[in-house]
């Protein structure tokens, strides 16, 4: 799966501070990576309709068993509401046993700087 393009469910106002969230997941096995990939379309559909979502992308490296996410939100509350609802909630619970390692980062950014560069994401998750 190639990197999913930056998708903008809701256009943020120019010059607005946004809440950026990034993650890196490494699965224990290739089977875990396949399970992650199988759940991706449902979560992707959810994010496209999520209130407060200003953008999202996913970089999948399934043969390395590694997945990178990047999203921008109106607020931490909007991100939390997304994570605890819809397809995402059961997908994340169902995949937790498959994870070998996970890293997360959040930071404020200007909506004018979206999408954030992958090099910056990797640096923040290192």
Determine, yes or no, domain membership for 95: yes
Determine, yes or no, domain membership for 54: yes
Instruction: State the average pLDDT for the chain.
Output: 95
Q: In angstroms, rounded to a whole number, what is the distance separating the alpha carbons of residues 22 and 106?
A: 6
Determine, yes or no, domain membership for 3: no
Number of domains in the chain: 1
CB burial of 26-42 (b: ≥16 within 10 Å; e: otherwise) equals bbeeeebbebbeebbee
Q: Which domain holds residue 29?
A: 18-125
pTM summary value: 0.93
Q: What CATH number corresponds to the domain at position 82?
A: 3.30.70.100
Residue range 89-118, pLDDT digits in tens: 999 998 998 899 999 999 999 999 999 999
| 95 within 8 A of 108, measured Cβ to Cβ | no
Q: According to the 3-state scheme, what is the secondary structure of 25-67? A: EEECCHHHHHHHHHHHHHHHHHHHCCCCEEEEEEEEEHHHCEE
Determine, yes or no, domain membership for 6: no
Determine, yes or no, domain membership for 13: no
Residue range 31-59, pLDDT digits in tens: 999 999 999 999 999 999 999 999 999 99
Determine, yes or no, domain membership for 105: yes
């Amino acid at each position: 799966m190639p990197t999913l393009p930056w998708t903008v469910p809701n256009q943020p106002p120019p010059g607005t501070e946004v809440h950026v969230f990034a993650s890196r997941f490494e699965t224990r096995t290739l089977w875990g990576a396949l399970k992650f990939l199988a759940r991706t379309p449902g979560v992707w559909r959810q994010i496209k309709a999520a209130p407060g979502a200003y953008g999202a992308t996913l970089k999948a490296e399934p043969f390395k068993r590694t997945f990178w996410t990047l999203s921008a939100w109106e607020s931490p509350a909007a991100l939390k509401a997304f994570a605890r609802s819809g397809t995402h909630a059961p997908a994340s619970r169902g995949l937790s046993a498959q994870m070998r390692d996970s890293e997360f980062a959040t930071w404020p950014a200007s909506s004018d700087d979206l999408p954030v560069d992958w090099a910056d994401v990797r640096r923040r998750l290192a």
